[in-house]
Amino acid sequence: MGHLGWTDLWCVLIRPPNKASRLCTETASMRIMVAIKRVIDYAVKIRVKPDKSGVETSNVKMSMNPFCEIALEEALRIKESGRASEVVAVSVGPAQCVDTLRTGLAMGADRAIHVEFPGTLYPLSIAKILKALVDAEKPGLLLLGKQAIDDDCNQTGQMIAGLLKWPQGTFASKVVLDEENKVATVDREVDGGLETLCLDLPAVITTDLRLNQPRYASLPNIMKAKSKVIKKLTPQDLNIEIRSDLEVVQVTDPPKRKAGVILSSVDELIDKLKNEARVL
Amino acid sequence: MAIRSLLGAFRKRSFVTRAVSCYRSLSTLILAEHERGVLKASSLSAVEAAKCLGENNSISLLLAGTGPSLQEAAAHAASCHPSISQVLLAESDKFAYPLAEAWAKLVHVVQQKGSYSHIIAGSGSFGKNILPRAAAILDVSPITDVTEINGSNLFVRPIYAGNALSTVRYTGSAPCMLTIRSTSFPLGATPAPSVSNAASVDKVDLSTLSEDDAIGKSKYISLSSQDTDRPDLGNARIVVTGGRALKSAENFKLIEKLAEKLGAAVGATRAAVDAGFVPNELQVGQTGKIVAPELYMAFGVSGAIQHIAGMRDSKVIVAVNKDADAPIFQVADYGLVGDLFEIIPELLEKLPEKK
């Protein structure tokens, strides 16, 4: 497998029209790209490695980042409403990301792209890789989760929007597409409440927890997903040089809180708060 | 270590810029938020954080907006903190609302002129929305939610919902961009505002703010917020939080009553928000707000990893729960096992009147 030209990819795109695009012929030509990340499952209690180099990830349950699931669900709902023709899931990272992409395909994504890179990647590199994919795939909407629950960065969507010079709707709890006017109305969860923005398409939207309830993949769809295409690329194929301006010095456990006490009555609680903790 | 960084420097031929970014004098730009003519507390925390970067750090504050409230905020900013040496004012209709597209470009323009070594914003929704976009335009990696600063390029930040602390070194070129967790950089005793050592207020030249960029591709429509008299959740001295066990929005009023009695802010778990008891801006946790009050009282909160992430740095934690095995008791200083529907009314009755 040598250098992969983009022509290979276009061949994949020529496929029989699906139900949604037949219903809504001209307008539903928009493609949605969804970026998904493979992370340690949210319910796992993580362990810091004894050598302080990071967090133990071998033999630990991995899943799709919960916010990415929400982004994918939203893309699928937009497609099912006839406002998009295709949903492309992309993931950047080690070989096992294919499993996460397979999950995305089982949920209903049409095809997937895996940019394989075994080492550590920071959001700036991810954003550059995603920009190259956007330049090639020309989606009308790019959906991401608002943050990954492992690095808790909350940066990638904003960074790719900056690189693309696209408008951004971060922390979205509601997305309404108006494909006729090529705009998206986005409700954002901000500190003081809910903010509503109107974005010109193409745009980048990052999803908050309350945007939707992601579906489970059914068994037939899991079977179907096995025959869907996952395109493999490397950062070199996209002419992206991975460099890093950050270096993790150490990863440690947070300081432990001292053990607390169980009290027997409200009177005792008020007394402790007043006289021992002195917070009342 | 030294050899590796030297090799890296030769490879990228950026040795000069690195040396410059590490050793020349510090200058910090703070992306500041203002509301009704005053600086927000999170922006002042960013000033406290900037002071931790090193000695002789000249601190500039960037304010953007339009109209009289901007002027008031500028006057407030110039005299409210002795460490602020300059206030930069970007006055334009483009900044009537804090849109990321215009702000990121503004940061780019200001950085080109001022060549700051560091750019800092609070890690609220404002900073998190804008700073990474600006960082990408400046081609540097930002660092989110910094809780500790050890010199000009060594930072500590929580990862995995606060279950691990990561120490990162920034090795890139200037500016080094951070969002800081406000609760980790509390305001010192604020000296009385004095006009005598007021910072200079300068207007930003906006003529190079290009129109061909993303500015104008996003429009502000509206903001819906709940007006309350209660203190702001992020800065409150006491926070009273309710979880799923409250069972209904009606019952949640018990929490609100208790908060009122204590002069506290009200928080909620994801379960309580999802069930519709309270609006989502009250959610405390990994995806909601991070709080570190003096007293945090959790009622009917089980203590999921994601919730603990938002309150583990509180000074005193009180948990009231029926289930003696609830994980919340592992982080609580004082626990009370019992029915919150009996305990809250008793507390309401026996708590001293607030001063």
Per residue in A216-237, pLDDT (tens digit) is: 999 999 999 999 999 999 999 9
Q: Please report, for the domain that includes residue B328, its CATH number.
A: 3.40.50.1220
Q: Is B273 annotated as a binding residue?
A: no
Beta strands (DSSP E) in chain A are 31-35, 38-40, 62-64, 86-93, 111-116, 141-145, 168-178, 183-190, 193-200, 203-207, 230-233, 246-252, 261-263
pLDDT attached to residue B117: 98
CA distance A190 to chain B (A): 5
Q: How far, in Å, CA of B131 to CA of A158, rounded? A: 8
Nearest to B244 by CA among B281, B266, B276: B276
- Report chain A residues whose CB lies below 8 A from the CB of B157: 152
- Report chain A residues whose CB lies below 8 A from the CB of B317: 257, 260
Torsion angles phi and psi, residue A77, rounded to 5: -65, -40
Q: How far, in Å, CA of B172 to CA of B104, rounded? A: 19
Q: Structure pTM?
A: 0.89
Per-residue pLDDT band for A187 (boundaries 50, 70, 90) equals: very high
- Report chain B residues whose CB lies below 8 A from the CB of A51: none
- Is residue B325 included in any domain, yes or no? yes
CA distance B344 to chain A (A): 9
- Report chain A residues whose CB lies below 8 A from the CB of B164: 46, 48, 55, 251-254
Q: Between A152, A159, A266, which is nearest B135 by CB?
A: A159
Pair (B44, B155) in one structural domain:
yes
Residue B174: closest CA among chain A residues belongs to which residue? Answer: A245
pLDDT attached to residue B213: 82
**Per-residue pLDDT averaged across A55-79, rounded?**
97
CA distance B172 to chain A (A): 4
Q: Please report, for the domain that includes residue B26, its CATH number.
A: 3.40.50.620
In chain A, the percentage of residues whose pLDDT exceeds 70 is 90
Q: Between A122, A267, A274, which is nearest B141 by CB?
A: A122
- Is residue B345 included in any domain, yes or no? yes
Per-residue pLDDT tens listing for chain B (355 residues):
455 554 444 444 444 444 444 446 899 999 999 999 999 999 999 999 999 999 999 999 999 999 999 999 999 999 999 999 999 999 999 999 999 999 999 999 999 999 999 999 999 999 999 999 999 999 999 999 999 999 999 999 999 999 999 999 999 999 999 999 999 999 876 655 555 568 899 999 998 887 678 899 999 999 998 777 788 898 899 999 999 999 999 999 999 999 999 999 999 999 999 999 999 999 999 989 999 999 999 999 999 999 999 999 999 999 999 999 999 999 999 999 999 999 999 999 999 776 5
B169: its two tokens: 């070194």
pLDDT attached to residue B225: 83
Q: How far, in Å, CA of A256 to CA of A251, rounded? A: 15
Residue type at B45? S
Q: Is B286 annotated as a binding residue?
A: yes
Per-residue pLDDT band for A258 (boundaries 50, 70, 90) equals: confident
Pair (B204, B280) in one structural domain:
no
Q: Which domain holds residue B131?
A: 12-216
Q: Is B338 annotated as a binding residue?
A: no
Per residue, what are the HEC states of A168-190? EEEEEEEEEEECCCCEEEEEEEE
- Is residue B225 included in any domain, yes or no? no
CA distance A14 to chain B (A): 31
Q: Is B237 annotated as a binding residue?
A: no
Pair (B207, B269) in one structural domain:
no
CB contact under 8 Å between A163 and B137, yes or no, is yes
CB contact under 8 Å between A162 and B133, yes or no, is yes
- Is residue B2 included in any domain, yes or no? no
Pair (B275, B305) in one structural domain:
yes
- Among A94-98, A275-279, B319-323, whose mean pLDDT is lowest? A275-279
Residue A241: closest CA among chain B residues belongs to which residue? Answer: B12
- Is residue B230 included in any domain, yes or no? no
pLDDT attached to residue B10: 46
Q: Where are the domains of chain A?
A: 24-255
CB contact under 8 Å between A195 and B220, yes or no, is yes
Pair (B31, B161) in one structural domain:
yes
**What average pLDDT does chain A have?**
91
pLDDT attached to residue B75: 93
CA distance B119 to chain A (A): 15
Q: Is B306 annotated as a binding residue?
A: yes
pLDDT attached to residue B328: 97
Q: Is B157 annotated as a binding residue?
A: no
Q: How far, in Å, CA of B289 to CA of A81, rounded? A: 33
Pair (B242, B174) in one structural domain:
no
Of B184, B216, B248, the residue at which a domain comes to its end is B216
Torsion angles phi and psi, residue A97, rounded to 5: -60, -20
CATH top class, domain A24-255: alpha beta
Of B185, B216, B247, the residue at which a domain comes to its end is B216
Per residue in A15-59, pLDDT (tens digit) is: 444 444 444 444 568 999 999 999 999 999 999 999 999 999 999
**Which residue's structure tokens are 């930069």?**
B88
Beta bridge partners of B180: B122, B146
Per-residue pLDDT band for A247 (boundaries 50, 70, 90) equals: very high
Strand-by-strand arrangement of the A261-263 sheet: A261-263, B334-337, B316-321, B295-299, B238-242, B265-268
Q: Between B238, B279, B336, which is nearest A263 by CB?
A: B336
- Report chain B residues whose CB lies below 8 A from the CB of A249: 154, 167-169
CB contact under 8 Å between A209 and B99, yes or no, is no
**Per-residue pLDDT averaged across A253-273, rounded?**
93
Pair (B179, B257) in one structural domain:
no
- Please determine, for residue A185, whether its predicted confidence score (pLDDT) is greater than 70: yes
- Neighbour count for residue A103 (Cβ, 10 Å): 21
Q: How far, in Å, CA of B267 to CA of B285, rounded? A: 10
Counts of helices then strands in chain A (DSSP H, E): 8, 13
Pair (B180, B264) in one structural domain:
no
- Report chain B residues whose CB lies below 8 A from the CB of A123: 132, 141-142
Based on the structure, what is the number of domains in chain B?
Answer: 2
Pair (B127, B201) in one structural domain:
yes
Torsion angles phi and psi, residue B193, rounded to 5: -55, 130
